[in-house]
Amino acid sequence: MKNARNNELSDRRSAAAEAKAALLNAYRNAKDTAEPTRLAKQAERQAIAAAREERRAARERLKLEELERAKAAEVERQAAAEAAARADADAREAADKDRIARVIADEAARKAERDLRYANRKARKS
């Protein structure tokens, strides 16, 4: 029999303390052994995080540039619409002025014809 059942309390306590110490030493040894790979993995994670942050910043920049382009296009479109509306209003105003000028000219021509008829009638009567 390997293990005798007549262990005292102090023997059990010392065996438990030794087991804890052995576990702690094993943990420390494993930690020290894994330190270079842990550092390499940590550096790799930091590089990945930096690349991710750079890509996010690039996406934000592109988004802002696209937003600015959209705003510029909207301003340009509004300016073009206002210019078209102004040109349309100017064209309507010019057409109205032309129509008024033609009406005035027609009235002047009718008045001239009427005055000529009146003058001819007066000439025939005298």
Q: Is the pLDDT of residue 125 over 90?
A: no
Higher pLDDT, 37 or 55: 55
**Looking at residue 1, what is its pLDDT?**
44
C-alpha of 24 from chain center: 55
Give the separation between CA 5 and CA 31, rounded to whole angstroms: 36
Contacts of 7 (CB under 8 A, 6+ apart): 15
Question: Residue 111 belongs to what H/E stretch?
Answer: helix 9-125
Nearest-angstrom CA–CA distance, 74 and 38: 53
pTM over 0.85: no
Predicted confidence band at 103 (pLDDT cuts at 50, 70, 90)? very high
Residues 49-78: tens digit of each pLDDT: 999 999 999 999 999 999 999 999 999 999
Reading the block at residue 62, the tokens are 């592109």
C-alpha span between 115 and 107 (Å, rounded): 12
